[in-house]
Structure 1
Amino acid sequence: MTVHQPGDGVTFVNTFTLTASPEEFEEAFARTSAYMARQPGFREHTLVRHTEDPRRYVNIARWDDPASLRRAVARPEFEEHAAALRALAGSDPQLYAPVRTARPAPSDEAPVVVVTGGGTGIGRATARAFAEQGARVLVVGRTESSLTGTAEGHDAIRTVVADLTSPGAAETVVDHALRAFGRIDVLVNNAAVSLHGSLADHTRKEDETQIATNLLAPISLTRAALDALEASGGTVVNVSTAGALGLRTWPGASVFGASKVALDFLTRTWAVELAPRGIRVVGLAPGVVDSGIGVRMGMSEEQYGGFLEQMGAQAPAGRVGTPAEIGWWITQLARDEAAYANGVVVPVDGGLSLT
């Protein structure tokens, strides 16, 4: 699947009001600008000093797409530059807040992507990343309000509420996609439930919930989509976890980890089984990502923040990941240019699985 990059890109505008000298501000801004210019997706910027009020500056910059800008501002190095600017000036609106430019709606020839678990976190970021790159997207989830939030501001995203653990739900989702778009080029099996606790802590019902969502749902949905994927020469992307790679253990998440190990096995096996039908199957194994899943699974905000801080310190990258970063990797695995990658599970975890 070739994802077409929209030509208009994204523009942000910041008005700075100085609280320090212009010389100090311009020096700090030059350092920030040099950082931005090194980031993929950066196009150009202009810094203009207000003619009537010398304490005000306007900065206008353009990027290829919102995802590029989000990745740039998510890095710790950017926060250092931003803190320096905030110490010297106030910014209106929020520093480097993106303003999306108008874009034409995707054509009827644009590829079609189905993303499960698309109402929050990685699923939301993935759906938006595909849409921003010109695809038509169907997001699937259990909560209508969350799906609506994903689609907000994105004409290319449509939603369908479905519990993929229910009988017939997979066929309903595929039928919806085909009625809406006429094809399926990419299926992203992202929906997951993670219930942490020891073996003794969980009930059989909780075990069944994790297995049904994390393993049986991808099986059912992929099976239901086979004919459509064969017709398009499509790609399946299974989202697992770097925490279950290799011979690693995961006390406190044994059933969740086991479901993801099984999903990785399916990725490898389906790649061989489905290759004669022209369907490619790959996997992505994220590390710890600040997706909010801990809070949704029962942690307090304080507990989740402490967990992220601890895991970020352990990763060679020195931080946890962002949903936008994982979404970008998923879009890349689905591209036609990645067609020779088949049956692989790619870890994107800041190097944590190497420690």
Structure 2
Amino acid sequence: MSGQETGDGITFINTFTLSGSPEEFEEAFARTSQYMARQPGFVEHTLARHTKDPQRYVNIARWQDAESLQRAVAQPEFQGHAAALRALATSDPQMYAPVRTARRAPSDEAPVVVVTGGGTGIGRATAHAFAEQGARVLVVGRTQDSLVGTAKGYDTIRTAVADLTAEGSAEEVVAEALRVFGRIDVLVNNAAVSLHGTLADHTREQDLTQIGTNLLAPIALTRAALDALEASGGTVVNISTSGSLGSRTWPGASVFGASKVALDFLTRTWAVELAPRGIRVIGLAPGVVDSGIGVRMGMSGEQYDGFLAEMSSRAPAGRVGRPEEIGWWITQLARDEARYATGVVVPVDGGLSLT
């Protein structure tokens, strides 16, 4: 979806390519339009079938300002409509990321967000969500090409290649954020490694890889960023997993799960320790998200698809999550309006942890 803000408001255009029937799509779009028409700041919109390709539609909409549009698409009701449209068509660019509709102009006063594991999946979606809301973002990861892919098309996203398990790398990342942007307002400890296998299967090296990335790296980076976060009254968001909640077990992922349970403990403890310094700490526990991590960690495509299907059948929501959904939740937990929430780990898992 492309957007342009003028004195008369903001106009955006996006195209849909059908995967379902035109009648079903038009009905779903009409319901979405009715929702939009009730929102403050909505002006008008036009949906037209493409003249040369009957499988494509063009949507042109106008709002009074970007903030009105962003508020409208951030609501859960819109997400329900968007999911219905997603089942019937693809959008180019995507309209389903809640704030990827009207980018705010870059500002030297805009908040600065550091996102680890920013080259793929949840990290990439989180970086995009923050950037769409006007933040300046430093994405951190081990692979330059992946980070460049995240930053492509975003003037306010910068990259930092780093292995946060290496001594001194956390300090280098913080120094880079301060050099480029001058401050840090939000730190998202998202990078994670999950290696499937039983206790007998794993080697010491595999254990250290998971514990180093999932636990020791967030410790090192948060410690290195303390002064900067104190100066801004910042927020730390630790990304856990809903599998770490309650008394559940996770055969085949014991080390990964243990590292996330430990991260949850840090979230609670840091919230108390760092409160006198004005730093807030909160956790987010996604369920199974279709981020491709299974394939990156060694599953075959067939195994990964089977895993997603099984988890979808177990979740009350009837599906797995999408990276864009988790990215949206992270941006909301980091907002100033959410500052009363601290020291808790919020599950966003389609109800999977209830089963």
In the superposition, the TM-score normalised over structure 2's length comes to: 0.84
Q: Does 1:78 align with 2:85?
A: yes
Q: Which residue of 2 aligns with 1:258?
A: 258
CA contact (8 A) 1:10 1:66 kept: no
CA contact (8 A) 1:287 1:348 kept: yes
Q: State the secondary structure of the residue aligned to 1:331.
A: helix
| Equivalent residue runs for 1:179-328 within 5 Å | 179-328=179-328
Q: Which residue of 2 aligns with 1:89?
A: none
The one-letter code matched in structure 2 to 1:342 is T
Q: Does 1:124 align with 2:120?
A: no
Q: Does 1:14 align with 2:15?
A: yes
Q: Aligned partners of 1:25 and 1:35: how far apart in 2?
A: 15
The verdict on how the C-alpha distance between 1:36 and 1:97 changes in structure 2, with shifts beyond 3 A counting, is farther
Q: State the secondary structure of the residue aligned to 1:201.
A: coil
Q: Aligned partners of 1:206 and 1:333: how far apart in 2?
A: 32
Q: C-alpha offsets along residues 194-231 of structure 1, whole Å, 9 cap, x if unaligned?
A: 00100000000100010000000000000000000000
Q: Which residue of 2 aligns with 1:350?
A: 350
The verdict on how the C-alpha distance between 1:95 and 1:189 changes in structure 2, with shifts beyond 3 A counting, is closer
Q: CA deviation at 1:28?
A: 5.1
Q: Aligned partners of 1:302 and 1:344: how far apart in 2?
A: 36
Q: Which residue of 2 aligns with 1:88?
A: none
Q: Aligned partners of 1:218 and 1:304: how far apart in 2?
A: 27
CA contact (8 A) 2:49 2:56 kept: yes
The verdict on how the C-alpha distance between 1:349 and 1:67 changes in structure 2, with shifts beyond 3 A counting, is farther
Q: Does 1:32 align with 2:29?
A: yes
The one-letter code matched in structure 2 to 1:225 is A
Q: What is the aligned-residue identity percentage?
A: 72
Give the total of aligned pairs.
332
Q: Aligned partners of 2:189 and 2:247: how far apart in 1?
A: 23
Q: Aligned partners of 1:238 and 1:153: how far apart in 2?
A: 27
Q: Aligned partners of 1:56 and 1:147: how far apart in 2?
A: 32
Unpaired runs of 5+ residues, structure 1, are: 1-5, 18-23, 83-93
The verdict on how the C-alpha distance between 1:172 and 1:66 changes in structure 2, with shifts beyond 3 A counting, is farther
The one-letter code matched in structure 1 to 2:30 is S
Q: Aligned partners of 2:138 and 2:195: how far apart in 1?
A: 27
Q: Which residue of 2 aligns with 1:59?
A: 59
Q: CA deviation at 1:244?
A: 1.1
Q: CA deviation at 1:311?
A: 0.2
In the superposition, the TM-score normalised over structure 1's length comes to: 0.84
The one-letter code matched in structure 2 to 1:341 is A
The verdict on how the C-alpha distance between 1:108 and 1:29 changes in structure 2, with shifts beyond 3 A counting, is same
Q: Aligned partners of 2:178 and 2:214: how far apart in 1?
A: 24
Q: Aligned partners of 1:80 and 1:347: how far apart in 2?
A: 25
State the structure with bigger RCO (CA 8 A, min sep 6), 1 or 2. Answer: 1
What's the RMSD between the two structures over aligned residues? Answer: 3.3
Q: Aligned partners of 1:131 and 1:67: how far apart in 2?
A: 18
Q: Which residue of 2 aligns with 1:339?
A: 339
Q: C-alpha offsets along residues 61-101 of structure 1, whole Å, 9 cap, x if unaligned?
A: 468359949956862x334544xxxxxxxxxxx54544988
The one-letter code matched in structure 2 to 1:174 is V
The verdict on how the C-alpha distance between 1:309 and 1:340 changes in structure 2, with shifts beyond 3 A counting, is same
CA contact (8 A) 1:36 1:72 kept: no
CA contact (8 A) 1:291 1:323 kept: yes
Q: CA deviation at 1:35?
A: 3.6
The verdict on how the C-alpha distance between 1:205 and 1:53 changes in structure 2, with shifts beyond 3 A counting, is closer
Q: CA deviation at 1:33?
A: 2.3
Q: State the secondary structure of the residue aligned to 1:119.
A: coil
Q: State the secondary structure of the residue aligned to 1:200.
A: coil
The one-letter code matched in structure 1 to 2:174 is V
Q: Aligned partners of 1:54 and 1:227: how far apart in 2?
A: 57
The verdict on how the C-alpha distance between 1:95 and 1:217 changes in structure 2, with shifts beyond 3 A counting, is closer
The verdict on how the C-alpha distance between 1:203 and 1:338 changes in structure 2, with shifts beyond 3 A counting, is same
Q: C-alpha offsets along residues 149-171 of structure 1, whole Å, 9 cap, x if unaligned?
A: 00000101000000000000000
The verdict on how the C-alpha distance between 1:55 and 1:138 changes in structure 2, with shifts beyond 3 A counting, is closer
CA contact (8 A) 2:70 2:102 kept: no
Higher-Rg member (1/2): 1
Q: Which residue of 2 aligns with 1:160?
A: 160
Q: Aligned partners of 1:9 and 1:78: how far apart in 2?
A: 23
Q: State the secondary structure of the residue aligned to 1:199.
A: coil
Q: C-alpha offsets along residues 156-199 of structure 1, whole Å, 9 cap, x if unaligned?
A: 10000000000000000000000111100000000000001000
Q: Aligned partners of 1:268 and 1:314: how far apart in 2?
A: 29
The one-letter code matched in structure 1 to 2:188 is V
CA contact (8 A) 2:103 2:134 kept: no
CA contact (8 A) 2:25 2:85 kept: no
CA contact (8 A) 1:138 1:160 kept: yes
The verdict on how the C-alpha distance between 1:51 and 1:193 changes in structure 2, with shifts beyond 3 A counting, is closer
Q: Aligned partners of 2:17 and 2:118: how far apart in 1?
A: 36
The one-letter code matched in structure 1 to 2:289 is V
Q: State the secondary structure of the residue aligned to 2:274.
A: helix
